[in-house]
């Protein structure tokens, strides 16, 4: 239990989640008909889902297809910018809090 607490002090899990999601979207093939899918609408058989379109749009941006990205979902670029800003804030706050705790603890 103590190891888990130590790890959580060093890692911000939300930032790790977003970075993992970006890595997944960067490495998948957005042009493939099917990939690892967690979408309930897609699993039921509905092909047009705004969330899936956004994921495909972000993946296309990582592959350099900006026109295809905009056609898949116009909010792909703003989503990357917002999520990147969130990751930056989470990491910055974690570093600040870690330094502040080190000052108080010794």
DSSP state of 93: H
Residue 46 clears pLDDT 70, i.e. is over it:
yes
DSSP state of 79: H
State the CB neighbour count (10 A cutoff) for residue 57: 25
d(CA 22, CA 59): 8
Q: How confident is the model at residue 6 (pLDDT cuts 50, 70, 90)?
A: low
Question: How is 21-51 classified by DSSP, letter by letter?
Answer: HHHHHHHS-TTSS--S---HHHHHT----HH
pLDDT in tens, 80-101: 999 999 999 988 888 776 666 6
High-pLDDT (> 90) share of the chain, %: 42
d(CA 57, CA 53): 6
Cβ–Cβ under 8 Å, residues 58 and 76: yes
d(CA 23, CA 25): 5
Q: What is the pLDDT of residue 98?
A: 66
Q: What is the pLDDT of residue 42?
A: 75
Q: What is the pLDDT of residue 2?
A: 59
pLDDT in tens, 8-32: 566 688 899 999 999 999 998 888 8
Q: List all residues 6 or more positions away from 44 whose beta carbon is below 8 Å from its beta carbon.
A: none
pTM: 0.75
């Amino acid at each position: 239990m103590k190891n888990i607490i130590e790890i959580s002090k060093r890692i911000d899990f939300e930032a790790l989640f977003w970075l993992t999601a970006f890595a997944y979207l960067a490495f998948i093939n957005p042009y493939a008909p099917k990939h690892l899918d967690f979408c309930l609408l897609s699993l039921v058989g509905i092909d047009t889902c705004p969330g899936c379109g956004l994921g495909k749009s972000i993946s296309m941006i990582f592959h350099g297809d900006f026109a295809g990205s905009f056609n898949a979902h116009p909010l792909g670029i703003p989503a990357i910018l917002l999520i990147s800003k969130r990751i930056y804030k989470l990491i910055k706050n974690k570093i600040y809090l870690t330094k502040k705790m080190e000052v108080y603890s010794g």
